[in-house]
Amino acid sequence: MEYIKDYINLTVLDKRKFNLICSGTGTGKTYYIANEFRHQLPSIKPHEIIFVASRSLIVEQQNKVKGISKFSLKNKNIISYWHGEIDSLDVIRNAGIQIMTYDKIINILSKRNIEGLETLSKVKAIVFDECHTLFSDTFIKDMEMLKVWIRDTLYTGKKIIIGLTATPSIIKYYQKEWGVSINKLNEEILINYKVKQLHCTNFDTIPYIVTTQLEGKTLIMCYSYRQCKELKKKIPNSTILISKSNKNFTKEMDNIRQYIINFESLPDTFIDDDGEEKELNVLITTSTMREGLNLREYSGVRNVICCFSDELHVTQFVGRARYSIDNLIVADTYINADNSSTNIYLSNCRKKFKNYMRNKDNTSWFDSISHLVDHDVYGVKRFILTHDENKFIDYINCKWLVPKGISERELDKYKIYKKEHKDEIVDMAIKCRLLKLYLYKITFNKVINLMKNSLGYMIESKQGTIDKKRHTYKLVVDFDEEKINLEETKDDNRNL
């Protein structure tokens, strides 16, 4: 295990430049700031350092680190001290490094100024964690004002300003228009954990991949709450977690959020919308969890799915796991913001992903995240279902795929034995044009064989008593773990 403290050279700190530390998850960035950084600069007191985090989740977690204190806008004394209105240290005697979110430092700069005094004049160092937030989270009110203030502060050379990020490319992308010089305190991005297998797909194929090809628990990051709901309908044992500021945030979401903060893991179960307790296998979230969430290997999360295909979101979301995960799935997803001129960086990254999906020799997109993956570009698995295949699979997964951990009492509704149910499955296969046969030749058994041989389903045939009558029935129980090949699927269809 390598840590960032062994790679930082503070002798090259430059007060007139934006000092950049490039480091991935689990490399000890927060520990370094809370301990090594201030000890190597003994002239700076802890309360003269502001640590700015991108998410409230981060503040709540890092507040537990010794030497870091959670800042509150209600603490008028420390703000007065920072501005030079109060000279006495008594008001902040036991204060550590003050950690706050971006919106709070913006609030201080825009609304907490004192006439005749220089704002934050006694603050000697400001550390911007996940500093790409300056450019990626432009929805934060007055973010442009903060960037101007940083630039003007650097021109005066009165403070040390440091940015921490695992994705320095977005800083470099906007550097020229920002008008700020960058000073790297370490040259290469330090990465401790790597993805064992990278998959590339699209949004519509996600439910199929989750329900048939992945083992272990899964995290999914969507662009919007609407997309989260769309996936939840199609993925059993899944639930949603969004930002606390969202009007759709619920008490159950808060319970899950707090559990993650406290235990760096996922709860075993959740209360679903129908009021029933269910096993939690898939957590679907928005970008509220792009940073700040820490998960340990005992969480059981082995797969991460990112509906953003740009380097920034992929890198940050994978970084929630403090270990090497089994699978990273990047899904091409339509995002309204791609059409906005304010998101040029993100839209350009997604164009590169689309080019790669069209032509595997166009490797520019893969190159941007290759340091996260434990194989080369030839090891990437690209998989996209056709519209018809996806429609049929969604139908099966929503209605007939047996959820994990289901009780014996609930199992009856997944048993396929009634003629109307068999006919319904055959009709759906016909509508989705899965079998290239005359209609009278498409039978229930042929559809079942297609599901087992080409679509990856494991189907059991059993006998038992249902409603006091003896029946032979089928259960769609799992994926048979054979690799799916769409070309072979088409050949199998023709030969059935």
Assess whether 409 and 372 both reside in one domain. Answer: no
pLDDT score recorded for residue 91: 59
pLDDT digits (tens, 9 = 90+) for 155-190: 999 999 999 988 888 888 888 889 999 999 987 788
> Band of the pLDDT at 224, cuts 50, 70, 90?
very high
pLDDT digits (tens, 9 = 90+) for 81-126: 999 998 866 656 667 899 999 999 999 999 999 999 999 999 999 9
> Band of the pLDDT at 30, cuts 50, 70, 90?
confident
Coil, helix or strand at residue 282: strand
DSSP codes joined into one string, 435-489 = S-S-GGG--HHHHHHHHHHTS-EEEEEEEEEETTEEEEEEEEEEE--PPP-HHHH
Q: Angle at the Cα of 495 (from 491 to 496), degrees rounded to 5?
A: 120
Q: Angle at the Cα of 375 (from 371 to 379), degrees rounded to 5?
A: 130
Assess whether 40 and 118 both reside in one domain. Answer: yes
Assess whether 361 and 400 both reside in one domain. Answer: no
Domain count, the chain: 3
**381-382 vs 327-332, strand pairing mode:** unpaired
Average of pLDDT values for 488-495? Answer: 40
Task: Give the whole-angstrom CA distance, residue 472 versus residue 463.
Answer: 4
Assess whether 407 and 420 both reside in one domain. Answer: yes
Structural domain of 427:
387-495
Assess whether 124 and 179 both reside in one domain. Answer: yes
> Band of the pLDDT at 1, cuts 50, 70, 90?
confident
Task: Give the whole-angstrom CA distance, residue 302 versus residue 40.
Answer: 38
Average of pLDDT values for 132-154? Answer: 91
Q: Specify the length of the chain in residues.
A: 496
Task: Give the whole-angstrom CA distance, residue 44 versus residue 258.
Answer: 34
Assess whether 223 and 363 both reside in one domain. Answer: yes
pLDDT higher at 145 or 192? 145
Contacts of 80 (CB under 8 A, 6+ apart): 86, 91, 114
What's the mean per-residue pLDDT of the chain?
Answer: 87
Average of pLDDT values for 405-422? Answer: 88
**Token output for 23:** 């480091």
Does 354 map to a domain?
Answer: yes
The neighbouring-strand residues paired with 184 are: 20
| CATH number of the structural domain spanning residue 209 | 3.40.50.300
Task: Give the whole-angstrom CA distance, residue 425 versus residue 203.
Answer: 24
**Token output for 244:** 């606390």
pLDDT score recorded for residue 490: 43
Assess whether 307 and 418 both reside in one domain. Answer: no
> Band of the pLDDT at 265, cuts 50, 70, 90?
very high
Average of pLDDT values for 407-428? Answer: 91
Assess whether 67 and 45 both reside in one domain. Answer: yes
pLDDT score recorded for residue 483: 41
Whether 338 and 347 have beta carbons less than 8 Å apart is answered as yes
pLDDT score recorded for residue 337: 58
> Of 140, 156, 184, which residue sits at a domain end?
184
pLDDT digits (tens, 9 = 90+) for 379-398: 999 888 777 887 888 889 88
- Please check the confidence at residue 195 and state whether its pLDDT lies above 90: yes
Assess whether 175 and 261 both reside in one domain. Answer: no
> Band of the pLDDT at 493, cuts 50, 70, 90?
very low
